[in-house]
Structure 1
Amino acid sequence: MPEMRFVIVWPDGQRESCYSPSLVVRDYFSEGETYPLGDFMERSRAALGTASERVRAKYGRPCSLALGQLARLESTAARFGGDPDARVACETFLLDNWETRS
């Protein structure tokens, strides 16, 4: 399965490189787009859940790395939960040895 990383920017400006075992993340996010925190987390749950299920279908078990990434996103998002204007940007997608592709 093709793996990818996607770089996000949290409301405080902190960048994070996130892992997905599948390119399905591109179905949920667009490079350069900014999402309200709640929407970003809903998309993250769907994208990483789908990616993990694709791993399960192929290898017989869910992807612990995708589920771990989702747990880290949930933890960080909780820090901004009190800010109704909090937004998260999807800065870029990284594939194949960290090369940027559109």
Structure 2
Amino acid sequence: MPVMHFHIVWPDQTQTRCYSPSLVVQDYLQVGHSYPLNDFLQRSREALNIASERVRAKYGFACSQAMDQLAEIEHLAAPFQPQADAQVLVTAFS
């Protein structure tokens, strides 16, 4: 399976390089687009869960790295939840 990374900028301008075991994330996120925090979280959940299930279909087990990445995204997003206008920018795929 082709691994991909997606690079994001949080509302405080910190950057994170995120892992996906599948290119499916490109169906959910666009480079150069800012997403409201909750929308970004929902898109990340869907994409990473689908990616993990693709690994399961191919290898017989879910992708723990995808689930770890989702947990990290949710953890990093938590401090921004109180901000009604919090946005996450997708800067690159690699």
C-alpha separation in 2, matches of 1:27 and 1:81: 24
C-alpha separation in 2, matches of 1:76 and 1:31: 20
Q: Give 3-state SS (helix, strand or coil) of 1:89's partner.
A: strand
Between structures 1 and 2, the one with greater helix share? 2
Structure 2 counterparts to residues 1-102 of structure 1, below 5 A? 1-94=1-94
User: TM-score, normalized by length of structure 1?
Assistant: 0.91
Runs of 4+ in 1 over 4 A off after TM superposition: none
User: TM-score, normalized by length of structure 2?
Assistant: 0.99
Task: Flag structure 1 segments of 5+ consecutive residues without an equivalent.
Answer: 95-102
Task: Flag structure 2 segments of 5+ consecutive residues without an equivalent.
Answer: none
Letter in 1 for 2:14: Q
Q: Give 3-state SS (helix, strand or coil) of 1:26's partner.
A: helix
Q: Give 3-state SS (helix, strand or coil) of 1:47's partner.
A: helix
C-alpha separation in 2, matches of 1:28 and 1:39: 10
Q: RMSD of the alignment, in Å?
A: 0.4
Percent of paired sites with the same residue: 57
C-alpha separation in 2, matches of 1:60 and 1:74: 26
The count of corresponding residues between Structure 1 and Structure 2 is 94
